[in-house]
Chains A and B, each alone.
Chain A
Amino acid sequence: MVSGGQDRDAPSKIVVDELDFWYGTRQVLHGINLRIPARRITALIGPSNCGKSTFLHTLNRMHEIVADTRLSGTILLDGQDIHHPAVDVVALRRRVGVVFQHSNPFPKSVFDNVAYGPRLQGIRQREALSEIVQRSLQQVGLWDEVKDRLARHAWDLSGGQQQRLSIARALAVDPDVLLLDEPAAALDPRATVHIEDLIGQLCERYTVVVVTHNMQQAARVSHFTAFFYEGRLIETGPTNRIFSNPREQQTDEYITGRFH
């Protein structure tokens, strides 16, 4: 069956078992089984509308903000079922951060954007907040660029800076898992390189799941790759194996560019 079996050194952070998902009566995910290893980068690839973004959103239950969705199967985070009634969705989202494709910064200052999450958790002292803001911005390599203009409106930053700011905003909540939905889709090549480098560094501390339709990007940044097609998980494995020696014909056709 499909599951990456070669990652003996990395324990599983998230285990997805027989996940089905519906928008209304339309089923968009069919029987997904996937293990996401801790502190590794897992890339989800596939053509548009293959369900990879929807899948990503189920990992921290962001799908619930859309009305009329249904889900069956289990998703275990560190062995805990995240859909168990006793699980607090707010606590879950603090452990599993997400950065959206067009994750526009909030229309606030740079500082207030990063401090948004910590403030929600009741951190009020200026020094504590400053420390978190500085650390988060340093993690995404933005600190040196913006440290003198933290009070500036976040929308005055460049596109690449805004995207890194969004990642910093997610990191400030101190999650274990970071979900990135097409983080470089709207960026120019230089900013993309920057983001890719950043993702590479993030896996030292975080479990990263990144959705991309850019196969070169998946090949460059990820350790493991999962290929989605028409709501099904076709193949998973170490990235170099998937790209050099895919086992499934559809995977082969996709990565060689025969369909998008």
Chain B
Amino acid sequence: MKTWITPYMMHYKGRIGINILFGVLGVASGAMLLFVSGYLISKSALQPQNIMLVYVPIVAVRAFSISQAVFPYLQKLVGHNVVLRILSHYRNKLYDIIEPQALVLKSRFQTGDILGIVAEDIEKLQDFYIRTLFPAVTSVVVYGIIISVFGFFDLPFMVLMLALLGIIVFLVPLFSYFIMKRHHVAIKQKRATLYQHITDALFGQLDWMVSGRKQELFADVETDNDTLLARENNVHRWHHLRDALMRFVSGGIVVLTMIWVDGQVNEGAMSATVIAAFVLMMFSVTDALMPTSDAIEEVPAYVDSLKRMNNLHVPTMNEQDEAVVEHDLSPHPVIHLKNVSYHYDASEDQVIDDMTLTIQPGHKLALLGKSGSGKSTLLKLVSGVLTPNSGHIQLDSTDMNAAYLSKYVSVLNQQPHLFNTTIANNIRIGRADATEDEIISVLDQAQLMDLIQTLPHGIHTQMEEMGKRFSGGERHRIAFARLLIQNTPIILLDEPTTGLDPLTEQNLLETMLGAAKDKTVILVTHHLAGAELMDDIMFVENGRIKLYGSHEQLLETNDYYRTLYQMDSGIHG
């Protein structure tokens, strides 16, 4: 609330105020349309000699009928404008929060799609303003005005209306909030169960068939579904009860207003012409106030979203050194690792354990290891996005840091994201000022131009049009071209061929290593395919170097390596 709602409400209080003003004017116009119509008819029924006596009401009726339509229209526009502005702030803020922890987010939340969920959350908060805040405040203001009007005439009646309209504006919404909070939790949980069962059913479809437990699954889904529907039915039942109560109260309000106005007329405080006016007006006002409950009962859903968004904040972050000094390095720097150790915040285990290594310029190093061996972490350390807990990683004699990314070091991460824009723009994400010729040149080096030339829009083809246009291998090549445009002396490749068939894999590796002939390359890989192309092979286990040497050397001296290589190339194993 304090981080995500209040500051923006304050920042946009002017626009929000205008929105609510328009909302109130809209309700008031509707009420006044009926009030004046009632008055006009009653007045006319007295058959005044001079038609000019009803001239003002006639004009007013027409005016209110127009303003009743105009104000809601304006209110919606102003409202959406404010909300879109606030949404911009949310997006910027969310990005600023997430950007520094981009690499640890998935492990922190143990779910693949935390970003998708949070992005939806901030979209959902738009509804908080449009569907809850604006209507609720409008209702309260309208309530205040009506009460004041009655108070102007008669204090006791004002108190009566204060109570009766209060039921509609405060009491029932409050009840609604607490009851819906309970339902919301229950429904959310039941939906989650059903969701999980359906997901399990589809992903594990064959497992269900093979296990002979298909009927059990169907029964589970049916039970989940039934309990969910029963719960939703409870909500409906509450809505029926709630609406019936409010209707009863509003019927009573109309009758009581009629009696009160009649009393006022008999006392001579009012003219008989306003009886119809007040009665008709109260119809319109109670109708306008009834949706307040609907507005309030959405609140529990927003609270969930806010909680999730607040959880994104990390109280103690591994803050990167902001004032990074960039030294001038030689055009082809040497990479040094000196007693490097690293462990993640949460755990004591050393992911990288006292590692020392030197990689000469132009050297090609293949890095292998089981999952969890530390090879990906090592790559992140060398790229500078992680800083070692002890020891040093240096380019020549300068400590590595993330500022060298895109200048000296470029990285092809495991699942490079291709943005939903043109091929050329995707390459430009690598370097914003790249010319069209440069882009074509790197695409050519990635051996993609033959394909791209056949496309009607060439390098300006959208990545995603009519579904997926490019195959896995082609997408990898585009990502690789984006890295080449940075023209750095050091290239880090994190399993760039995963998921490709062997032929594609082999071709891609050849392309990559061919294009990086003069560069230092560290290739994290899970196969020994292409091992012959590399200068050195290094196996990592438990954060330490397990095996290091050239392909020929290892093949000759190391049984383990020989076994693996023979298996990988299909000879033995």
The yes or no verdict on A and B being binding partners is no
